[in-house]
Amino acid sequence: MKPNIMERPERDARPLMAAGRHFLNALILAAVFCSCEKDPGTESGTPEFEVYDVVPVAEQGWDIYTGTGYRYGASIIVNDDESVDLWLAAPGGTFGEGVKTYLSDEKDAQQLGTDGTLAQYFEFDESFARISLYCPSWNSTQESFTLSIYEWNSDYAGTVAGEPLASRRFEKYGDNSWLDLYAGDDETGTEKFPAGKYLWVMSDGTANSGIWKCTVSGSSSQTNARSYVDGEEISGQFFSMICTSAGSNEIYWDKIVYMHSDDGGKTWTDEVPTLLPTEGGRDSLSCCDPGVACWGGYYYIGYTSTMNQSGRYNHVYMARGTSPDGPWEKWNGSGWGGDPSPVVTYDGTLSGFGAGEPCIVVLDGTVYLYYSWNEWNTVTTMLSTAPADDENWPARLESRGVVIDKTDMEDPDHTDVKYVERSRKFVAIHAVERDTDDSWIQIWESEDGISFTKAGQIRGELCKGIINAGMSGDGEGHVRPDIVQYLCYAHSDEPRTWGHWATWWSPMVWERPTE
């Protein structure tokens, strides 16, 4: 039975220093309209509600993402008006604003040879600077081909009977190169192909020239691509991108997207790619695993990245902005903006995941930054703290060591921590036996945010195959009494393929534990 949701009590009265009634009213209005303007130096005080232990119970939910790829690692803020902000990790892209024509990274090599043609139809609803193809050469350094682009004319035969809009010969290209055909000869990206329908064609190849082909049929809805071998349409999709600007074509693995809901997650705004890696920076491979909080007029978003191509040896990074969808200034080691630098640097075993998957709680003027610290044989959550009233608080982080040790558990994943005002305890959750039929969510509790003990499992309506669960709180990571909260995680069913996950959303209530 669904528990009763009581009327929301008045929030704690906090001391305000003000010169006159008008100034006080202005401060109150500012607090209402900007949840990030809370004073991080005030004490939590005595609550105006009864304090007792509560446990999280998941209610029946629904999928908010069922597309290809994934949206996972949720960070959720419930605002003062009970609207919801949501940040998720999503598949990445390439520098140069490339839109993929293909749906996944599962691929086989397609040989062009000396007398064949490979081609792809696509459409694009804005002007673009170039097309880019991902081409193997089977370890050869002697391969070449010609790439041409045509305006689409009714069908394949009618199109290739016309004159190409642009053409380029690639001589002795490197194995597994992204090769570009620009609209302009200067290759600066200033000249553009207009929005429309097109066909690119590879021809006049050498024996080991070719292109990678996605083995998953279909195409991104932005391009509606179709691929051809010798003029005949095939299943699968050639690896190409439509790029609206010049760029390096270097691939980054993940980005962070943002969405907003005014009705408890039933409907959402279109997702915004809000935080991307910095081209050439220390986080150029990935922005993943968002952990967001807001206070003092800023949103702070922690994330995971690495410079290691294996995806290991990660570090924790931080950025800030005045809006939940950015733009963001990344921490540079001494201040905000410019080249990103970690706020937590991993120095453990090279084969370990490293540091990452951050979340933030602000309590009594202190920032509690929790993050994974996983070496090759340990799986733990660590804590660093800093004063919340210091604009450059990442420079003052002090390690408090390991606060949760999950090493003896079966395949646990990242930990999300909130401060539950009803019980006046820190509560942490994480999945166990992730991405399996036997997955569940472990709960930990702490009086001080440092010493955590196991406290059972989340009860209620849960999916199988749970991956990277996140729970909601307010901007400072507090679960306020009698406000509907939420649980979000990726999930999968058999047969499972890594990264092909749906995203589940469910209301979650905090109620007295049953005896």
Question: What confidence score (pLDDT) does residue 39 get?
Answer: 52
Question: Which position has the token pair 């608080």?
Answer: 393
Question: What confidence score (pLDDT) does residue 423 get?
Answer: 97
Question: What confidence score (pLDDT) does residue 37 get?
Answer: 67
Q: Boundaries of CATH 2.115.10.20 in the chain?
A: 55-92+252-511
H/E run at residue 350 = none
Q: What is the pLDDT of residues 139-163, one digit of tens each?
A: 999 999 999 999 999 999 999 999 9
Q: What is the pLDDT of residues 17-34, one digit of tens each?
A: 333 333 333 333 343 334
Lowest mean pLDDT among 62-66, 140-144, 216-220, 266-270: 216-220
SS3 of residue 168 by DSSP: strand
Q: Which residue has the higher pLDDT, 292 or 280?
A: 292
SS3 of residue 83 by DSSP: coil
First to last CA, the chain: 17
Give the contacts of 20 (CB within 8 A, at least 6 positions apart).
none
Measured from the Cβ of residue 366, the count of other Cβ atoms closer than 10 Å reads: 17
Q: How far is CA 123 from CA 130, 208, 248, in A?
A: 13, 29, 23
Question: What confidence score (pLDDT) does residue 188 get?
Answer: 85
CA dihedral sign of residues 333, 336, 341, 342: positive
Question: What confidence score (pLDDT) does residue 9 get?
Answer: 31
Question: What confidence score (pLDDT) does residue 41 get?
Answer: 44
Q: Is the pLDDT of residue 221 over 60?
A: yes
Q: What is the pLDDT of residues 447-487, one digit of tens each?
A: 999 999 999 999 999 999 999 999 999 999 999 998 999 99
Q: Is the peptide bond before 495 cis (omega within 30 degrees of 0)?
A: yes
Question: What confidence score (pLDDT) does residue 68 get?
Answer: 82
From the list 92, 151, 88, the residue with the least C-alpha distance to 124 is 151
This prediction's pTM = 0.75
Residue type, 101: T
Three-state SS for 182-218 is ECCCCCCCCCCECCEEEEEEEECCCCCCEEEEECCCC
Architecture of the domain made up of 55-92+252-511: 5 Propeller (2.115)
Fold designation for 98-243: Jelly Rolls (2.60.120)
Measured from the Cβ of residue 93, the count of other Cβ atoms closer than 10 Å reads: 20
Query: d(Cα 448, Cα 232) in Å, to the nearest integer?
Result: 66
Q: What is the pLDDT of residues 366-386, one digit of tens each?
A: 999 999 999 999 999 999 999
Q: What is the pLDDT of residues 105-152, one digit of tens each?
A: 889 999 999 999 999 999 999 999 999 999 999 999 999 999 999 999
Q: Is the pLDDT of residue 11 over 50?
A: no
Q: Is the peptide bond before 47 cis (omega within 30 degrees of 0)?
A: no
Q: What is the pLDDT of residues 74-113, one digit of tens each?
A: 999 999 999 999 999 999 877 867 889 999 888 999 999 9
Average pLDDT over residues 303-317: 95
Confidence of residue 42 (pLDDT cuts 50, 70, 90): very low
Q: Boundaries of CATH 2.60.120 in the chain?
A: 98-243
Question: What confidence score (pLDDT) does residue 515 get?
Answer: 62
Question: What confidence score (pLDDT) does residue 245 get?
Answer: 86
Question: What confidence score (pLDDT) does residue 47 get?
Answer: 60
Q: Is the pLDDT of residue 413 over 90?
A: yes
pLDDT exceeding 90 applies to what percent of the chain? Answer: 81
Could you give the maximum distance between any two Cα atoms of the chain, in Å?
85
